[in-house]
Amino acid sequence: MTDTILANATLVLPDEVIIGSLLIRDGEIAQIDAGAGVPNGAMDCGGDLVMPGLIELHTDNLERHIEPRPKVNWPHGAAIIAHDAELASVGITTVFDALRVGSIAGKSARTDYLEYARPLATEILDLRAREALRISHFLHLRAEACSETLIEELAKFGPEDRVGIVSLMDHTPGERQFRDLSKLREYVCGKHGLKDSEFEAHVADQIALKNRLGAGHLKAAIAAAARYGAVLASHDDTTAEQVAQSRAQGVHFAEFPTTFEAAQACRDNGIAVMMGAPNLIRGGSHSGNVAAQDLARADLLDIVSSDYVPSALLSGALMLGDLWGDMARGIATVTSAPAEAVGLTDRGRIEIGKRADLIRVRRIGGTGALRGTWVKGQRVA
């Protein structure tokens, strides 16, 4: 590898922002210097922001590539490669691809969801082994309590599969994300075109599944995370009691708590709070839950996820930097904070010896335009 110098850059360091340069050597950050000088052979960044590559813990983006239209199943290899390239193009250098485990079949063609995680994970890992992917991929298994096959599907994964996160998903109607059944009706009927009687049958089926299998599924997911060496995440915590349960289960971070009460309880229990960038940017939740901006203003927001809009990750971090008047803190929500939540100690900060996963960004008003992405010192976008 040849040396690369990014000079005359606005460097976003862990606790401050300075004008300076950094040297990339053998895939790592080898030197950091203050000052606007541009050595011979260096890339003049013209004052652009240079920050750690973004770390995405929860994204549904791969699903959009695999099923670009309802009932259209796109070739998976092409879909994974396109997904990977899209993430690189918006500054994401590490991703935990979220895959659902736990399926339902045979009740309704419109509300069934079938098994897909194991074969898709195999394809992702195979492409990674072939060096066909630009960025670093791990797996995030979303363990669905309201399903029939969760335990069998979890058994198909092991410590060799780069499973970094297991999230405990409970989509029981009337609880957590969809406490308000009118919001659930709006979402499910809008997505699947259900009649009122079909929606009511769907709700009854989901509640029955949770009552019959939910406790066993929860226990199995926690055990599976330990077997994989993965961290646990809760999902859609709504009450302080649910957060207390999450703490007892060993949860590291909470995905998308739905209320201020739950977010405050997370802070009190040492659980990091992750919110979606789309919620942050839009000014509210599409499900009627707590607004990420309100949590940010109350100092109850630690990590940001792009969720279903990859480009929102960078925009959300810049927005927080402006909101807090502290760009280093805003960028930390998409770099060092997610890295710490999942135990990645080699990335997420501009420090000597860390992986040279870096991005160059030019501010344009309230947003940012990506000017370059480097993974282990190699430019990939």
Residue 242 token pair:
């649910």
The residue ranking higher by pLDDT, 336 or 288, is: 336
Q: Give the span between the Cα atoms of 339 and 274, in whole angstroms.
A: 12
Helix pair 76-89, 117-129: axis angle to 10 deg: 60
Write the CB contacts of 185 (distance below 8 Å, at least 6 apart in sequence). 199
**What is the arrangement of strands in the sheet containing 251-255, beginning at the earlier edge strand?**
54-59, 92-101, 136-144, 163-169, 231-235, 251-255, 272-276, 303-305
Q: Please provide residue 194's backbone torsions phi and psi, each rounded to the nearest 5 degrees.
A: -80, 145
Of 136, 206, 208, which is closest to residue 178 (Cα–Cα)? Answer: 206
92-101 vs 43-44, strand pairing mode? unpaired
Q: Give the span between the Cα atoms of 147 and 377, in whole angstroms.
A: 43
In this structure, the chain runs to a length of: 381
Q: Which domains can be identified in the chain, with CATH numbers?
A: 54-347 (3.20.20.140)
Q: Give the span between the Cα atoms of 175 and 287, in whole angstroms.
A: 13
Q: With pLDDT > 90 as the criterion, what percentage of the chain qualifies?
A: 79
Which residue matches tokens 């839950």? 289
Give the lowest-confidence range in 37-51, 161-175, 321-335.
Answer: 161-175
Query: What was the pLDDT predicted at 181?
Result: 59
Q: Report how far Cα 363 is from the mean position of its chain's Cα atoms.
A: 23
* Residue 250 confidence (pLDDT) above 80: yes
Work out the pLDDT band at 320, boundaries 50, 70, 90: very high
Work out the pLDDT band at 230, boundaries 50, 70, 90: very high
Query: What was the pLDDT predicted at 150?
Result: 95
The CA distances from residue 240 to 185, 266, 267, in Å, are 26, 8, 11
* Residue 106 confidence (pLDDT) above 70: no
Q: Are 82 and 45 in contact (CB under 8 A)?
A: no
CA angle (136 as vertex; 132, 138 as ends), nearest 5: 110
Query: What was the pLDDT predicted at 109?
Result: 47
Give the lowest-confidence range in 122-131, 142-151, 272-281.
Answer: 142-151
302-314: average pLDDT? 97
226-255: average pLDDT? 96
136-144 vs 163-169, strand pairing mode? parallel
Query: What was the pLDDT predicted at 278?
Result: 96
Q: Give the span between the Cα atoms of 332 and 12, in whole angstroms.
A: 9
Write the CB contacts of 138 (distance below 8 Å, at least 6 apart in sequence). 94, 95, 96, 97, 162, 163, 164, 165, 342
Write the CB contacts of 365 (distance below 8 Å, at least 6 apart in sequence). none
pTM of the model: 0.92
The residue ranking higher by pLDDT, 200 or 87, is: 87
